[in-house]
Amino acid sequence: MELTKFGFFCGIENQLYTLDTGKYTTLVIEGFKRPQSIYYQYDFYKQTFYPHYPNKITVYGERLLPIYLLKRVQRYFANRTSFLEERGNQNL
Protein backbone atom coordinates (compact mmCIF):
# COMPACT_ATOMS: atom_id res chain seq x y z
CA MET A 1 0.00 0.00 0.00
CA GLU A 2 1.13 3.57 -0.60
CA LEU A 3 1.17 4.34 3.12
CA THR A 4 4.83 3.35 3.37
CA LYS A 5 5.64 6.30 1.06
CA PHE A 6 4.39 8.57 3.84
CA GLY A 7 6.65 6.83 6.35
CA PHE A 8 4.10 4.52 7.94
CA PHE A 9 5.35 1.27 9.44
CA CYS A 10 3.30 -1.74 8.39
CA GLY A 11 2.48 -3.83 11.46
CA ILE A 12 0.05 -6.20 9.74
CA GLU A 13 -0.53 -5.77 6.01
CA ASN A 14 -3.91 -4.15 5.25
CA GLN A 15 -4.75 -4.10 8.97
CA LEU A 16 -2.34 -1.92 10.96
CA TYR A 17 -0.05 0.98 10.04
CA THR A 18 1.65 3.38 12.47
CA LEU A 19 3.84 6.46 12.25
CA ASP A 20 5.44 8.26 15.19
CA THR A 21 5.15 12.01 14.60
CA GLY A 22 6.46 13.24 17.94
CA LYS A 23 7.78 12.17 21.29
CA TYR A 24 4.31 11.22 22.53
CA THR A 25 2.25 11.12 19.33
CA THR A 26 1.51 8.30 16.88
CA LEU A 27 -0.65 8.22 13.76
CA VAL A 28 -2.58 4.96 13.51
CA ILE A 29 -4.43 3.39 10.59
CA GLU A 30 -6.49 0.31 11.36
CA GLY A 31 -8.00 -1.76 8.56
CA PHE A 32 -10.86 -4.19 8.78
CA LYS A 33 -13.08 -6.07 6.39
CA ARG A 34 -16.74 -6.69 7.12
CA PRO A 35 -17.86 -10.30 6.54
CA GLN A 36 -20.19 -9.37 3.65
CA SER A 37 -17.64 -7.08 1.94
CA ILE A 38 -14.64 -7.72 -0.29
CA TYR A 39 -13.14 -4.30 0.50
CA TYR A 40 -11.08 -3.20 3.47
CA GLN A 41 -12.19 -0.10 5.32
CA TYR A 42 -9.88 2.02 7.46
CA ASP A 43 -9.97 4.17 10.56
CA PHE A 44 -7.35 6.93 10.68
CA TYR A 45 -6.53 8.66 13.95
CA LYS A 46 -3.81 10.24 16.05
CA GLN A 47 -3.14 9.03 19.57
CA THR A 48 -1.17 11.11 22.03
CA PHE A 49 0.30 9.42 25.10
CA TYR A 50 0.89 12.17 27.64
CA PRO A 51 3.13 11.09 30.54
CA HIS A 52 1.10 12.76 33.32
CA TYR A 53 -2.25 13.46 31.66
CA PRO A 54 -5.01 11.36 30.09
CA ASN A 55 -4.30 10.08 26.58
CA LYS A 56 -5.94 11.92 23.69
CA ILE A 57 -7.30 10.55 20.42
CA THR A 58 -8.07 12.73 17.39
CA VAL A 59 -10.06 10.94 14.68
CA TYR A 60 -9.39 11.96 11.06
CA GLY A 61 -11.59 9.38 9.36
CA GLU A 62 -13.68 6.31 10.02
CA ARG A 63 -14.67 3.42 7.74
CA LEU A 64 -12.77 4.93 4.80
CA LEU A 65 -12.26 3.04 1.56
CA PRO A 66 -8.59 2.95 0.45
CA ILE A 67 -8.87 5.81 -2.06
CA TYR A 68 -10.48 8.09 0.54
CA LEU A 69 -7.97 7.01 3.17
CA LEU A 70 -5.07 8.07 0.95
CA LYS A 71 -6.73 11.42 0.24
CA ARG A 72 -7.27 11.98 3.96
CA VAL A 73 -3.64 11.08 4.73
CA GLN A 74 -2.41 13.44 2.00
CA ARG A 75 -4.59 16.23 3.40
CA TYR A 76 -3.29 15.56 6.92
CA PHE A 77 0.33 15.92 5.80
CA ALA A 78 -0.43 19.03 3.70
CA ASN A 79 -2.12 20.67 6.70
CA ARG A 80 0.70 19.58 9.02
CA THR A 81 3.33 21.04 6.68
CA SER A 82 1.44 24.34 6.46
CA PHE A 83 1.06 24.46 10.24
CA LEU A 84 4.75 23.77 10.87
CA GLU A 85 5.82 26.37 8.29
CA GLU A 86 3.47 28.95 9.80
CA ARG A 87 4.72 28.15 13.28
CA GLY A 88 8.32 28.47 12.11
CA ASN A 89 7.67 31.91 10.59
CA GLN A 90 6.17 33.16 13.85
CA ASN A 91 9.48 32.56 15.62
CA LEU A 92 11.35 34.97 13.32
> How far is the C-alpha of 11 from the C-alpha of 76, rounded, in Å?
21
Helices and strands (H and E) in the chain: how many? 1, 5
Per-position pLDDT tens, the chain of length 92: 588 888 999 988 889 999 999 899 999 999 999 888 888 999 999 999 988 888 999 999 999 999 999 999 999 998 888 877 777 766 55
SS3 6: helix
For the chain, what are the domain ranges? 2-90
Q: Determine how β-strand 25-32 pairs with β-strand 9-12.
A: unpaired
